[in-house]
Structures are given as structure tokens and as C-alpha cells.
Structure 1
């Protein structure tokens, strides 16, 4: 049975607009949990309420109502104790001191957590080797590449010893090689150290590759809470590519567009291709009824390859409200 390490319950937060009395609801009754030892994707388009939610989990913003517990500790009444169990690398914030060296940064931030230099020496050595930063330990951070700065920020977060690590856009701006290196490091952190990681990212390849489950927020609400593989399967079985040995008539094309507005029809010299998404599995019979009108031979039928970015966009656009249900 999964052990919950972070619980977010009925969270709400509104902000007052500058120079007006109008209030904007950023987070509207959000609830979800994070299980111990999982990599969870926390996603949402710009303005969805995701950043506000992250800041409330990190104790940087106080919610109007609702509750957050981290490792069973209330994040409001016992904020300092709760925050001992989570560390964060937030995009757009200075997670490092640029005029200190790599090693000095690690020692400084460990000291902020109440750890002496002697106490963390061996752990720093281990992390320097694990993150391939040993040969840069005396280099000033402002001279490091973006990838090395990001790896150092994650290493600093790990040095805190917290069970939960929140990473905001961990691969943003990284080259392909470093991006894959960071992904493998995160897998290793979960696999070998049993840490829990919450990732926010606009790179859906990262989410698809790393996360077991994803919570998607839109307009201040949770719109999906499910395993990534379940969401991929849901859309994969409904998307088809059909090759025809011939062309649709105008009547057929019109009838298909009425029933399948997302249909893409691509005629070629002798063949044509239909890309279609079915709302219900039985819709395929209606599709073939239209094709039979002109007795067009069907050459091949294949499931359309779909990636998590497409899944995310469909969910955010509300194209799947009947097909996708929230699951805790």
C-alpha cells in the first residue's frame, strides 16, 4: 500500500489585483497526494495556479484555506518542522551563490540546515562524484555551464537530507546530453535513496520519461490525477491512421467531418490517409459505414503514435472531459 508523504487538501488562494478591489482566484479547491518514493509530475499551463501551489507547498505563500501536510506535519501551524522534510530547486530564483565555489555552496547551504562542515564532508565528496562535479569543486559557480549549475542546485537540495525534493523545470535550458544525465541522476536518487521527487516542467518528454503519475492543474483546479501510462493508453486506443487505396468523395469527406471534427484527410496520387480520433470505440463502425459508400479499399489500419505533450494539450483544452476522470 502506498504511503502518502505529501497531502494537499482543499487548497484555495486568491490575490487582489493592483489598483483595483477585484480578486483573482489562483487556486480553487485543489487536493492531491504524493506517495513516498515516487516521481510525480505537477503540471499546468501558464496561469493555471501551478506556481502558486508550488509556493504554498514550499511554505513561501500562505493559503487562504485548506491544508498541506508534509510527512504528517502541518505546513502552517508547524511550518519550520514540515519544511525540514522538503527541499526545492525553483526556476527563476537564486538557488546558488554565484560568487562562491561549488564546494563552498554545498557547505554554506548545509550550514543553513544546521549541519557542520565536518558533519557533511563525506556526503559532499560523494555528491561531487555522483554529479560529476569533482573536477569543478573549486570553480566559481558563475563560471559554470547552465547544466553544471543545475546539477549543483540538485546536489545542494539532496544535501539537505529531506525525503521530498521539489524540482521546478530541472532540465530547462540544458543541452540534450546534460538533460539525459540529469534524468538518470533523478532516477538514481529515487531508486537507491528512496527519495520522493515532485517535478514541474513544460518539457513533456521529461514527464513521460520520468514520472509514474501526473497531476494536471488548469484554471486553479485539478483536471487530471492519474498514472502517465494510463493517460497514454487512453488516447492511444482512440487515435488511428487509416491508409486507403483511393480517395474520398466530397460527400464522404463532409460526412466524416460532421462526425469526426478532428479528422485529418491527406489525399495522395493514388492513395489517401485518414487520421482520426474516436470518442467511443464503437464509432469505428460509423467510420467504416461512410467508407463503404464508395467501396474504397482499406490498405492498413494502425494506432496513431501519440506522445505525452499531445495528451497534456488535449486535457488542458478540455477535449477529454468525458474520457478522463480524476483518480487519487
Structure 2
């Protein structure tokens, strides 16, 4: 696939206020984004994610390393590189609140050097596609947060840039509008031939939308992989088993020897045990213990991991452990 963003050996340090000490916010990070991808750029607070975003957008100058946008150096030809990227910032700072929906679209397209005549039909299409037609004469400060976010994305499309960087696109909006924005973003990639980078704490959005995710922690890239690969890597065979009878003391002891992290509870009507199996063959060990007392099994339910759990495991340093176990 053809690269459209290349971040290479990027570093940035800050001086502490009233001190000679420095803080390394970004430490020699490298990754690429391909045309037509939706990539998640993630990291806990203080990890260096925000600094990375500002470096990609040309808002900060790196101490070392480079950012290339569509083959153009952000450092050497900043204005030319910026023409290929638009940022939709959290808090809807991309919009003028005292202008109407239509006036915002016209104003910001003009800022990019496009005449009102050239963009007239595009504006009409975007108002329809983003369900903003009924609100076109409404002042932005009277719109809901979801409407403002849709307008900000529409504005970014009128800039005709190939890359859109979204900072928290679903923050503070209701569930229905959140689903609508997710659909819009898929359509943006497919119908408008754009590439999207998403920075978000909403792991559901990342899991649903992103092809790949780059996770930054302590100023470094700790993983860069497809979402589906990470989900598969961290998938554990966790089962909750409902039993018809209580386990004997001998069974409980044997199970804890084989499965140290097993959870067992007994109530008057049923008993349950929850166990993580790293290998499918361990099921045989489990049922050998249950057979000792002919303990009836009422049901077996498997627990599925989500991307939020994957993210937490990665930033807490579990990635290498999982790789060792899978090799």
C-alpha cells in the first residue's frame, strides 16, 4: 500500500518551568499511515500522544526526526505539507460559533483558496450527506455537540486535504449521534477517498472503525498492529462453568493446583467456577477433576475480550508476555 504519512525517528523535549530540567515527550518514534486507512493513535495521559499529533499537524517543530505528508516534508515545506492534512480538534475549535452552518462551510473553504462558485455544489452535497440541511441557517453555538462535530468533519472535507486527523470525535455526544458519526467516517474513507487518523479514549470507536492502531506510552511506540491481530493476541480462553453440585474439597484443591487463578463460588442452588485456559487441551484436565465426583455441568459460557482490555494490557507492559506465550 502507498504511504501518505511517514513519521520517522521523531523526538521532542520540553523544559520544565522555572527549572533547567527537560521532559522527553516523544522519544524517537516511527510509524507510517497508508492511503485509505483508518488508524487509531492511542496512549494514556502523558504518554506523548498529544505532542505527536501537534508534530504531525505542524503545530510543533521536532528536536529531531521528520514528518512527511504525501511525500512532502513538514519541516522543509510546511505550508505545502499542511495542504494535505486537516485536523478536527476536540472541543470543536475548528468552527466559528457566531456563523451559521452554511457560513462556516463557505468561510473555511475560502480560507483554503476555493471560490464560492467552485464549492457551491459540494456544500449542498455535504449538507445532505451529513443531515445538516435543516440546520444550515442555524448559528453554530445553538447546535448540539453532535451537530457541531458533524459540521467540523464536513468543513475538513471542503479543504480537499487527503488526510483528516480527528481528536476525540465522539466525546460528549449521545449514543445515536455517535453511531451516525461512525457511519459518516466510513463513508468519508470510501466515498471521498480520504485517510483518517483518530485519537480517542473511546475504545469502542477504535475497535469498530480502525484498521490498525499505533499505541504510544512513555514517549515511545509500544505497538503498531492491526486491531484484529491485537484482539487475537490477547484473547484468553476464559470460561464460566455452572455446576449442578458443589465441588468437594479434594476437587477444589486439585483445580487450584492446575489453575492458580481459578474463581469458585457455591450457593444453595448452584456452583460456578471461572477459569482461564491458555491451551484448549487444558479442558481435559478440568473435566478429569469434575469426573472424580461425577459433578454435573449445567452450562459453559465463554468470555470475550474487548479492545479496551487489550489497550490496558499493552500500556501496563503485558505485550511482551503475550508474545512470549504465543511463540
> Fold conserved (TM > 0.5)?
yes
Q: Deviations over 1:68-112 (max 9, x none)?
A: 111111111111111111101011462101011111111111111
Q: Which position in structure 1 is the counterpart of 2:89? A: 90
Q: Which position in structure 2 is the counterpart of 1:247? A: 247
Q: Which position in structure 1 is the counterpart of 2:256? A: 256
Distance of 1:254 and 1:12 partners within structure 2: 53
For the Cα contact (< 8 Å) 2:92–2:149, is it kept in 1? no
Q: Which position in structure 1 is the counterpart of 2:273? A: 274
Q: Deviations over 1:151-197 (max 9, x none)?
A: 00000011111111010110111111111110101111112222111
Distance of 1:141 and 1:199 partners within structure 2: 23
For the Cα contact (< 8 Å) 1:224–1:324, is it kept in 2? no
For the Cα contact (< 8 Å) 2:251–2:289, is it kept in 1? no
Label 1:184 to 1:93 Cα distance change in 2 as closer, same or farther (>3 A): closer
Distance of 2:250 and 2:20 partners within structure 1: 56
Tell me which moved more, 297-306 or 284-293.
284-293
1:288 to 275, 286, 289: 286
Q: Deviations over 1:1-50 (max 9, x none)?
A: x1111111111111111111111111112111111101111111111111
CA RMSD in angstroms comes to 2.6
Distance of 2:97 and 2:254 partners within structure 1: 61
Unaligned runs of 5+ in 1: none
Distance of 1:248 and 1:36 partners within structure 2: 60
Q: Which position in structure 1 is the counterpart of 2:113? A: 114
For the Cα contact (< 8 Å) 1:86–1:166, is it kept in 2? yes
Distance of 1:315 and 1:146 partners within structure 2: 32
3-state SS of paired residue (2:160): coil
Distance of 2:102 and 2:172 partners within structure 1: 23
Q: Which position in structure 2 is the counterpart of 1:73? A: 72
For the Cα contact (< 8 Å) 1:244–1:296, is it kept in 2? no
Matches within 5 A, 1:46-195: 46-92=45-91, 94-195=93-194
Distance of 1:79 and 1:226 partners within structure 2: 29
**C-alpha displacement of 1:283:** 8.5
Number of residue pairs matched by the alignment: 322
**C-alpha displacement of 1:304:** 1.4
Distance of 1:283 and 1:223 partners within structure 2: 32
For the Cα contact (< 8 Å) 2:12–2:27, is it kept in 1? yes
User: Scaled by the length of structure 1, what TM-score is found?
Assistant: 0.89
For the Cα contact (< 8 Å) 2:251–2:290, is it kept in 1? no
**C-alpha displacement of 1:294:** 6.3
For the Cα contact (< 8 Å) 1:55–1:61, is it kept in 2? yes
